[in-house]
Chains A and B, each alone.
Chain A
Amino acid sequence: MIRNSPPLMQALQQVIPVQAMAEPWQIAQTVLFLLGAHSSYITATDIAVDGGVTGGGIFWPVGRSVGVLGGAGPDPRVSTTS
């Protein structure tokens, strides 16, 4: 289990745009939706419940690393040259 590996837990939270691991109930709620009548036209597909990981792709960590998305690096929107 991931909770048994603190380094993996920490690394994952760095790459998840919502910056938190899912709680079990957050997955369960989606499954309840898929089991019930509200999802009767959904089939043969994947539902990402991933805090934005697949939607954000590589550009969440990239944006963090260059500072645009609030990372440690300089914010390129702010000119530091004179």
Chain B
Amino acid sequence: MNLLPIDSGLRGGVFIVTGGARGQGASLVRGLLGVGATVHIVDPLGLDDACWQTLRDASPDSDHLHIWNDDVAQPDTWLRLGAALRAQDQPVQGLVNNAGITGPRDTVTRTDLAEWNRVMAVNLTAAMLAIREIAPLMQQGGSIVNIGSTVGMTGYYSAAYSCSKWALRGLTRSAALELRRGGSGSTVCAPASWTPR
């Protein structure tokens, strides 16, 4: 087989990016739009934020960019998105669980349970909910990428954040074993990317 063009599997595909309004999520969304993909962003950032207009400007037309201004940790968000995609009979090529929050960076003995639960909900449970709903809409060769962290590979004083990113690597493996579709099921572990606005 000849080597594939660099945009193979991207052009014309449908992708979902959580936390795609700004930062590295937005950078990814712009890259996908740039190769002719269709992107659904799930992000609760206020719609009056200038980030949204930047992304609209990067989209060749309104059909390529879909905004779901919702909480990724709510099951209903994924039920509605899944139903909409199913109704359009649009197979999904890729899902990127990029949304994440750091929480207050407290140590274990200073961890507030409500803060712990919120970090787990956004960083871990939301990814499970997304995969549960979206994986059945993916075809052979579809990809799921969960954005991890270096602190999901080592000890880190911020207990909730670190544990959520460790667990995300477990979710990656569980999903990959179940889905075995020949596409990526991977965690990207990055130390920190800073986000110019």
B77 within 8 Å of A by Cβ? no
A38 within 8 Å of B by Cβ? yes
A2 to B169, CA, bound (A): 22
Count chain B residues whose beta carbon lies closer than 8 angstroms to a beta carbon of A. 49
Q: Which of B43-51, B67-75, B180-188 contacts A (4 or more CB under 8 A)?
A: B180-188
B23 within 8 Å of A by Cβ? yes
Docked-complex contact A28 and B31, CB < 8 angstroms: yes
Docked-complex contact A31 and B188, CB < 8 angstroms: yes
B27 within 8 Å of A by Cβ? yes
Count chain A residues whose beta carbon lies closer than 8 angstroms to a beta carbon of B. 38
Docked-complex contact A27 and B24, CB < 8 angstroms: yes
Residues in B with CB closer than 8 Å to A16 are 191
A27 to B188, CA, bound (A): 8
Docked-complex contact A40 and B182, CB < 8 angstroms: yes
Chain A interface (Cβ < 8 Å from any Cβ of B): 1-3, 9, 12, 16, 21-32, 34-51, 53-54
